[in-house]
Structure 1
Amino acid sequence: MDNQENNTAAAYQASEGSALAVDSSFYKAIADSTHREIVDNFVVPIRSGRAWKVPAGHVFRILTNDGPQVGDLNLWNLNNPRERMWASRTRQLQKAHVTTFDRLWSNLPYLRPMVTITHDTLSDYGKDSEGGRVHDLLGTRCDPYVNKLLTGKDFHFHCHSNLVRSVLPYGLTEFDVHDVLNVFQCTGLNESDQYFMKACPADKGDFIEFFAEIDLLCALSACPGGDLSVPLWGPDARDPIDVCRPLTVEVFRLDKDLLAGWESPKPVDYPALHGMHPESVKWQR
């Protein structure tokens, strides 16, 4: 039994003082704080997307004010969009489904926490009887290319397309859109090790809140699959327009006293030589 437990332990372990060792009391104080100023507040209509800025040291919430609805979230460094959320490394460092005190990490060669989750009203959902969990990093955004691949038809309502349109005003393109955090989405792996999606368990008024560790450009799609209670592919598939709802985003400035001693994390201090002579490395992060 001991060997089995050792073999299934998390591969990436936190050492004392590492970035995986989160100061939960600091983030809990942020979640509990009532001294915060709302600086942005908007609704993402059904089947659409929106991008927005969040300064480091602020928090933002995504809310299901009208009932269950899945959202697809992308994150970039506002000042350097080459740095963006890395879903696969986040799965390894945190979990395949994230909740309070988990972090979303950026890609190489930066590898730092972009946000830390401070509050999640679905944190008690855990694992259901079918193996489903909430806030998914296993899958990715729906897109018109896979729709054409599976059905042979053009269907223009997809999270990928919503995200593409959202970031165009910020000088980004389709090539900048990346794997997402599926907010409020309940997913898992079945007995055949295949990805499944379930109806969104969020109720009206549920939310997830993120603390911005660096200056961020965020983009969110209100998934055209709605609450995922309707089959999207296969013989029973139909247009899920009737189960689509908007999402609300709120951004807050925190009391400065809460942030005393906090500093925005730096990229990992690896010189990026990869075994080469320093003179052969001409680029900088």
Structure 2
Amino acid sequence: MAAHKDSSHPPQPAYQATPGSILHPDREFYDSVAKAARTPVESFTLPIRSGRAWTVDEGQIIRISTPEGPQVGDLNVWNSSNPRERFWAARTRQLHASHLSTYDRLWSCLPYLRPMVTIVADSLADYGVDKWGGRCHDLLGTRCDPYVNSMLSGDSYDYHCHSNLTRAVLPYGLTEFDVHDVINLFQVTGLDKDGKYFMEACPAKVDDSITFFAEQPLLMALSTCPGGDLSTWGWGEGGGGEEGEKKSMLECCRPLKVEVFKIDDGAVLAGWKRPQPPAYRGKHGMVVPSGEVG
């Protein structure tokens, strides 16, 4: 067995881009988007332990905020014209990082592989890395769901994020099979010394927010996590906290607010174009005959 090479230099990120690559967004442009005058298109407040889906036109702005204080939200994204194109958490994690902030993007699945949204503002961008190694806006984990809940606790509960998202997309012709790995907004997570996934209490305060620019026409769905701000956590219906703890998970739950805006100044988007999929010719090396060979 070959010995591991001993090096004094840390390994380099596996996915690096040359200058001018799509992985290096035009910060000046996205700063102008973030500062542009805007007109409200839609606004709603999502109650605790619920889900809702909505559509967004390309070139619009989506702001998700915590109007009453800390609350985690699980977000799914699809192309509204072709929901087979949907957010790919694993590749986004590789292309950017395990936790996202301003100028990072949510990328779509194969064979599309292009930005769906770009983050243009994040009031928690300065959270950084805490003493436990936790970071905010999590891509390490995924949505809570009733199946793992039943497996771990024996209880059935219908308002986990997977269920909330499932109910949210049904009016748009999608099903449970279309719900996919999420970005956990306002959620602080990390890996401990043994590589075990951990969650911390949400650091958001009243009206903290994260803002996205829609790079294509979108269907988005958001769940207000039944764990609330995750300051108390446990599996099982109505569960949460250690024995003797007075605070329940329900008491940790708060709403989330969603706002969609149209940019007023058309000049801001004058040079912007919808990102295109990579120019791979397809077929994966296969030759498909046009008919029976005589």
TM-score by length of 2: 0.91
After TM superposition, list the pairs within 5 Å mapping 1:36-47 onto structure 2: 36-47=38-49
- Which residue of 166, 169, 177 corresponds with 1:167? 169
Alpha-carbon distance in 2 for matches of 1:122, 1:235: 26
Q: Is 2:262 the partner of 1:253?
A: yes
Alpha-carbon distance in 2 for matches of 1:176, 1:20: 27
Alpha-carbon distance in 1 for matches of 2:64, 2:135: 18
Alpha-carbon distance in 1 for matches of 2:58, 2:116: 9
**5+ long unaligned stretches in structure 1:** 281-285
1:161-213: per-residue Cα shift (whole Å, max 9, x none)?
00000000000000000000000000000111000000000000100000000
1:225 corresponding residue in structure 2: 227
Q: What secondary structure does 1:52 align onto? A: strand
Are the structure 2 counterparts of residues 240 and 110 from structure 1 closer, same or farther at C-alpha, using a change threshold of 3 Å?
same
Aligned positions, number: 277
**5+ long unaligned stretches in structure 2:** 1-5
After TM superposition, list the pairs within 5 Å mapping 1:29-178 onto structure 2: 29-33=32-36, 35-178=37-180
1:20 corresponding residue in structure 2: 23
Alpha-carbon distance in 1 for matches of 2:20, 2:89: 23
2:278 corresponding residue in structure 1: 268
Per-residue deviation at 1:113? 0.5
Is the 1:71–1:247 contact (alpha carbons within 8 Å) kept by the matching residues of 2?
Answer: yes
Mean alpha-carbon deviation: is it higher for 12-21 or for 240-249? 12-21
Q: What secondary structure does 1:165 align onto? A: helix
Alpha-carbon distance in 2 for matches of 1:214, 1:183: 21
Q: Is 2:287 the partner of 1:277?
A: yes
> What is the letter of the counterpart of residue 44 of structure 2?
F
Is the 1:232–1:239 contact (alpha carbons within 8 Å) kept by the matching residues of 2?
Answer: no
Per-residue deviation at 1:236? 2.1
Per-residue deviation at 1:17? 2.3
Per-residue deviation at 1:235? 7.7
1:283 corresponding residue in structure 2: none
RMSD: 1.6
Is the 1:58–1:252 contact (alpha carbons within 8 Å) kept by the matching residues of 2?
Answer: yes
User: Larger radius of gyration, structure 1 or 2?
Assistant: 2
TM-score by length of 1: 0.94
Q: What secondary structure does 1:29 align onto? A: helix
